[in-house]
């Protein structure tokens, strides 16, 4: 392995995080405070997430659409809890075209209101239901303490919005998308989050219930990786989104919304990254393999090996930039987290071999030059499974059962602290908030997501410091 060029995680985790983003050429701060420029490598990772998630969303019957960035202020004001929840984060446009606007407009913080307005026109009959929409977009929430990928004033995401004839259908949709997100995290990002329900204090403004996916980062802090909301009839009532029943009566729709953002790229860095940079799960990596020519005379062989791997459908980079020092190139690819590095030098060609290096473990292996097609796919599967296993084991190790709120606030606040929700309640939750802690989610004792009042009362609270 090449020498590390990063501050060790154990020495300064926030600094390590920023250095990984910078040196792996993922992103940088934009010219306006709180904004972010996503560089090609960082955006390629987001595109992989988009592709995997979009396929899952389409497979569940949703259609992609696009709605305006600018939202009339009266739209936001129709749902009182919604506007109150987002008011501190709103960016509002008051001037345009060289003059003051007759009515200020909000820059999209989320799209329940503008989509609800459209749904009120598109839905007339029970035959129009369910209406299943998804939007890939940017949103703006003015951030006072920005951090790249984790909290920025503008970020990218998808937001699903659906309307249904019954509460049961809306609830089933809410939980279905919660599970779709869980599958994405586990099978692609190699992260196994805790699935649970938000407390009333933490739920989405305007929702009846919010279901969340919470994961621990290497520093013991939690990160909300995605949410799915049962909106009940709150927005249907505010925007008169109704339908005629088969019997000819008029009823209000039951609605949902759900979203995952570029924040999960931050999770990817902090869950899998080590002191040498990123460690990307093969299912997600923009390049699963990089083939490096040690000397110029091995470039043709590298191109041939790359071609064999691409023919298998693998994503492959070929590095024949022999004018740049070999050590520097190795360091750069390690920083970017490419799962497998294949090195081919003149001696390797003479011996009909090549060196295969795993990014996750650093293990090196000399294999036959013609064996790439058989060795590499199996190694990628192994890396994917082991990264998930390591992340899950680490999270389990950082999850502790505690007796009461006193034990939590007197401790170091590291990891998930788990205790019965009845031993926390609203008063305990306020006390935790005063100490910089929060109930990240509620989970039924057997590990399921609590959906009924009885299940909520008997659930376990997962408490942590959070990003």
Neighbour order of strands in the sheet with 91-96 = 70-72, 99-107, 91-96
| Contact between 396 and 415 (Cβ < 8 Å) | no
10: CB partners within 8 A, 6+ apart: none
Confidence of residue 232 (pLDDT cuts 50, 70, 90): very high
Q: What is the average pLDDT value for the chain, to the nearest integer?
A: 96
Band of residue 406 on the pLDDT scale cut at 50, 70, 90 = very high
Local structure of residue 246 (DSSP, 8 states): T
- Which is it for strands 289-293 and 340-344: parallel, antiparallel or unpaired? parallel
Token pair 């987002």 is found at 86
Cis, bond preceding 232 (omega within 30 deg of 0): no
Q: Do domains 13-272 and 289-382 have the same CATH topology?
A: no
Query: Does the pLDDT at position 239 exceed 90?
Result: yes
Q: Return the C-alpha torsion angle 83, 150, 223, 69, nearest 10.
A: 30
> What gap in Å lies between CA 22 and CA 141, rounded to an integer?
24
Any idea where the domains of the chain sit in the sequence?
13-272, 289-382, 399-464
Mean pLDDT within 19-29: 98
Cβ 266 vs Cβ 286: under 8 Å: no
The alpha-helical segments, DSSP class H, found in 65-161 are: 73-77, 80-86, 112-122
Model confidence over 56-106: pLDDT tens digits? Answer: 999 999 999 999 999 999 999 888 787 787 888 999 999 999 999 999 999
| pLDDT given for residue 141 in this prediction | 95
Bridge partners (DSSP) listed for residue 256: 162, 230
Longest CA span, the chain: 82
> What is the CATH code of the structural domain delimited by 289-382?
3.40.50.800
- Is the backbone of residue 240 left (phi > 0), alpha (psi -120 to 50) or beta? left
Tell me the per-residue pLDDT of 144-154, one tens digit each, with 9 for 90 and over. Answer: 899 999 999 99
- In this prediction, residue 85 carries a pLDDT of 79
Distances (CA, A) of 124 to 13, 65, 130, 251, 253: 54, 19, 12, 10, 10
Q: What's the pLDDT at 82?
A: 79
Whether the per-residue pLDDT at 1 is higher than 50: the answer is no
- DSSP per-residue codes, 347-403: HHHHTTEEEEEETTT--EEEEEGGGHHHHHHHHHHHHHHHHHHHHHHHHHHTEEE-S
CATH number of 13-272: 3.30.930.10
pLDDT of 118 over the 90 cut: yes
Mean pLDDT of the 153-172 span: 98
pLDDT of 384 higher than 90? yes
Instruction: Write down the pTM of the prediction.
Output: 0.96
Ordered DSSP codes for 57-93: HHHTT-EE----SEEEHHHHHTSHHHHHHHGGG-EEE
User: What pLDDT shows up at residue 3?
Assistant: 57
Kindly report, residue by residue over 290-349, the tens digit of the pLDDT. 999 999 999 999 999 999 999 999 999 999 999 999 999 999 999 999 999 999 999 999
Task: Give me the residues paired with residue 221 across strands.
Answer: none
């Amino acid at each position: 392995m090449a020498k590390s060029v990063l501050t060790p995680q154990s020495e300064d985790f926030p600094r390590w995080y920023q250095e990984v983003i910078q040196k792996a050429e993922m992103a940088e701060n934009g010219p306006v405070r709180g904004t972010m420029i996503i560089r090609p490598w960082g955006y390629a990772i987001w595109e992989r997430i988009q592709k995997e998630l979009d396929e899952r969303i389409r497979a569940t019957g949703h259609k992609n659409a696009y709605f305006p960035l600018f939202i009339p202020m009266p739209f936001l004001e129709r749902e009182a809890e919604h506007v109150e929840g987002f008011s501190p984060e709103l960016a509002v446009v008051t001037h345009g075209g060289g003059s003051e606007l007759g009515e200020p407009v909000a820059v999209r913080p989320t799209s329940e209101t503008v989509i609800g307005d459209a749904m009120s026109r598109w839905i007339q009959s029970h035959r129009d239901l369910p209406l299943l929409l998804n939007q890939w977009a940017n949103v703006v929430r003015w951030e006072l303490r920005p951090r790249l990928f984790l909290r920025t004033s503008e970020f990218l995401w998808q937001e699903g919005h659906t309307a249904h004839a019954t509460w049961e259908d809306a609830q089933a949709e809410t939980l279905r998308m919660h599970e779709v997100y869980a599958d994405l995290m586990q099978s692609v990002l190699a992260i196994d989050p805790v699935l649970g329900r938000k407390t009333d204090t933490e739920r989405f403004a305007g929702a009846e219930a919010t279901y969340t996916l919470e994961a621990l980062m290497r520093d013991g802090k939690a990160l909300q990786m995605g949410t799915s909301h049962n909106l009940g009839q709150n927005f249907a009532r505010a925007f008169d989104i109704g339908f005629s029943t088969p019997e000819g009566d008029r009823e209000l729709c039951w609605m949902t919304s759900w979203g995952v953002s570029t924040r999960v790229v931050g999770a990817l860095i902090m869950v899998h990254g080590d002191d040498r940079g990123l460690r990307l799960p093969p299912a997600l990596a923009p390049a699963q393999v990089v083939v490096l020519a040690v000397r110029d005379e091995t470039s043709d062989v590298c191109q041939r090996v790359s071609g064999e791997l691409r023919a298998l459908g693998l994503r492959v980079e070929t590095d024949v930039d022999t004018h740049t020092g070999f050590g520097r190139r190795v360091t750069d690819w390690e920083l970017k987290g490419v799962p497998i590095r294949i090195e081919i030098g003149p001696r390797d060609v003479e011996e009909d071999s090549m060196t295969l290096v795993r990014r996750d473990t650093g293990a090196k292996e000399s294999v036959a030059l013609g064996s790439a097609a058989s060795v590499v796919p199996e190694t990628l599967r192994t890396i994917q499974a082991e990264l998930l296993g390591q992340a899950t084991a680490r999270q389990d190790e950082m999850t502790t059962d505690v007796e009461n709120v006193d034990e939590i606030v007197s401790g170091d606040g590291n990891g998930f602290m788990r205790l019965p929700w009845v031993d926390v309640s609203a008063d305990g939750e306020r006390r935790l908030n005063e100490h910089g802690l929060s109930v990240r989610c509620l989970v039924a004792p057997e590990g399921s997501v609590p959906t009924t009042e009885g299940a909520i009362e008997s659930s376990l609270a997962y408490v942590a410091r959070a990003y």
